[in-house]
Structure 1
Amino acid sequence: METKKPKVSIIMLNYNTEDYTIQALESMKGTDYDNYEIILVDNGSNENSIKKLKKSLGKYKKVIYKEISPNRGVGGGFKAGVPEASNPDYILFINNDIKITQNNWLNTFIETAKNNVGIVGCKLLYPDGTLQHAGGKINFLKPHFTMHIGIHDNPEKEIYNKVIDVDYVTGAAMLIKTEIIKQLNGFEDLFLPMYYEDSDFCIRAKKLGYTIKYTHRVRIIHFESPTTKKATSAYFTYVTTKNKILFLLLNMPLKYIPIRTIYEFFSMIKWVLRGQGKSYFKAVLWNIKNLNLIIKKRNERKELHMGFVAN
């Protein structure tokens, strides 16, 4: 008797980028893994985007459609999709600005997620074929402490063509055991609207004892952030700085405070010289105003282990 394959619920968000969403759904039609569903959450789009999207959905039989408003950010949008899932073994968070290039992609994801593997990411490629990243490492001693592995490199190099343990994978495509999402209640809400919520989630999963894997056997084209490209430079500076500081306050071991303080001083100077000082200080102020809540959440987490500091 054939063993039933694990159920996978794919959650995808749309926010005024319906052309990307339709392209992503179209690229999934050849998927040779049967036991899956797609939960498409419209995250507060305008009427024209919703109308165009809904007009196309009849072609995709596995899609469950849900609308939420106003926009809840990345983490909130994914959380809204989770209750719609039909008792899955795994949930795959995936961006809508992607293109699937292999029919066996989902089966390969599942094959990698065995034993105590909690989260699996894949080889993400830019449209020109260069490597976007192969998972990531966290090193609080570095100015850029979350480091994508292999960015803009040749994806065919041997180092990127093996299954390896990583510190995080990004929400562009991350397969997660459903039990972890239940234990952690999804992404941290404070990372509204986006950025760092995926790497923070991976850190918390590792604290529970799960491993995080990158697999080279799944290759996905990622067009990368069409929504954020529409954002103003000032807003982008505010959001990324706010969530970078938040990530550090939630996760960084206290012994790294001196070196991080030096890094932040130079970061402040950089943004001021670029004319983005107002956005930078607004981000700092947000973290100060919410410091009591951040400390409370930090205290609920176990102390980070040295495994997050690169050799």
Structure 2
Amino acid sequence: MPSISIIIPTSGDSPHLEDCLSSIKKLDYNPKHIQTIVITNRDLKKTGRSFSFSRAVNLAATKARGEYFLITNDDIVFAPASLKSLVKAKKRNPNTILGGKLFDKTTHEPAAAGYTMNLLLGIIRPVFTGNKPTPCDWVSACALLLSQELWKKLQGFDERFAPGFFEDADLCLRAGTLGVKSLLIPEVELLHAQTATFNRDKSKKYEYWYRNKILFLRKHASPIKLATNLLVQYALFTPFRGLILHDGRFLPALKGLTWNLKHL
């Protein structure tokens, strides 16, 4: 039975963390082979850094001993058989990064566990786990399993994707250059509170999302695709959503673009 390090970043005030840890204790998996690492804002402050998902996971990974790393959110609840199903799927598909089948914690409606992106237009489509292993461009880091060996090859998350969004996309696409595929496994059922932390401040959420999306495209899209994407985004989508729909995204989108221009 492979050893697993479950890495849970948390700001320290999550109302969901207790449910997450309780579900880990109920997993149908030998507890001797599970290492649970909860990494908090306080842990990062000791290193002189502010909290972000990527920084927290990278710090926790230096302490992780498992053959596999399961990176998750503090608002995930695991079904008892989920970890065993993930490990079985990993043995069948060794050259992969794996995710599961997500359901909204409140409504129990299916939720996206992965995503695909058109790098030319920047259009992101959610991927819902089907009845068989479902391919995607990247697995959501709310529940992402990979080997320690692959993690070290990739040198973890790129910490520029702070405080969150697109660090998982970047990791999976970098893994893809090594021939590693991203798959969602239907037997792995998980409940998710759907970005509970970021939803407290939607303006900041949108700013980080746009900022890190552009950073992601700068890393993975060709110059022509990047230019086309920015033209479509800022000449069409952003003005429409901000000025017509009044959804609060216009100024955050401009701030996200400005950040990237300052950090070329």
TM-score > 0.5, shorter chain as reference: yes
Shift of 1:288: 1.1
**Helix, strand or coil at the partner of 1:190:** coil
Q: Tell me the residue number matched to 1:71.
A: 50
CA contact (8 A) 1:135 1:149 kept: yes
Q: Of the two, which has the highest radius of gyration?
A: 1
8 Å Cα contact 2:100/2:189 also seen in 1: yes
Shift in alpha-carbon separation, 1:100–1:290, aligned structure 2, 3 A? same
Q: 1:27 aligns with which of 23, 27, 41?
A: 23
The answer on 1:112 being equivalent to 2:89 is: yes
Match of 1:308 in 2: none
1:6 aligns with 2:7: no
Distance 1:138 1:272, change over 3 A: closer
1:80 equivalent in alignment to 2:59: yes
Q: 2 CA distance for matches of 1:22 and 1:202?
A: 29
**Which residue of the other structure, out of 205, 217, 220, is the alignment partner of 1:236?**
205
Specify whether residues 106 and 287 from structure 1 end up closer, same or farther in structure 2 by C-alpha distance, changes over 3 A only: same
- 1:255 and 1:13 map into 2 onto residues whose CA distance is 36
The worse-fitting range, judged by mean Cα deviation, of 238-247 and 126-135 is: 126-135
2:40 corresponds to which letter in structure 1?
Answer: D
Confirm or deny: 8 A CA contact 1:17 1:227 kept in the other structure. no
Does 75-84 or 267-276 show the bigger shift?
Answer: 267-276
Tell me the equivalent position of 1:97: 75
d(CA) in 1 for partners of 2:194 and 2:104?
A: 8
> Does the CA contact (< 8 Å) of 2:135 and 2:182 recur in 1?
yes
Distance 1:267 1:162, change over 3 A: same
Aligned residues: 253
Unaligned ranges ≥5, structure 1: 45-66, 292-311
Runs of 4+ in 1 over 3 A off after TM superposition: 274-278
Percent identical: 26
Separation in structure 2 between the aligned mates of residue 136 and residue 278 of structure 1, nearest angstrom: 25
Partner of 1:253: 222
CA shift digits 1:237-279 (9 cap, x unpaired): 2111111111111111334245313322213313652365443
1:154-173 pair list within 5 angstroms: 160-173=130-143
Q: Are 1:289 and 2:262 counterparts?
A: yes
Report the equivalent of 2:108. Answer: 129
The alignment partner of 2:168 has SS state of: helix
Alpha-carbon RMSD across the aligned residues, in angstroms, is 1.9
Q: Tell me, what secondary structure is at the counterpart of 1:19?
A: coil
CA displacement 1:1-25 (0-9 Å, x = unmatched): xxxx111100001214343111111
Structure 2, unaligned runs of 5 or more:
none
* Deviates most, 25-34 or 74-83: 25-34
CA distance in 2 between counterparts of 1:267 and 1:249 reads 19
TM-superposed CA distance for 1:284, in Å, is 1.2
Is contact 1:21–1:96 with CA below 8 Å preserved after alignment? Answer: yes
Q: 1:218 is matched with which residue?
A: 188
Are the counterparts in 1 of residues 104 and 111 from structure 2 also a CA contact under 8 Å? yes
Map of 1:294 onto structure 2? none
TM value normalised by structure 1: 0.76
User: Which residue is equivalent to 1:182?
Assistant: 152
In the superposition, relative to structure 1, how do residues 24 and 250 fare at CA in structure 2: closer, same or farther (>3 Å)? Answer: same
For residues 27-57 of structure 1, the C-alpha deviation after alignment (integer angstroms, 9 at most, x for no partner) is 121212111110011124xxxxxxxxxxxxx
- Structure 1 distance, partners of 2:253, 2:114, is 28
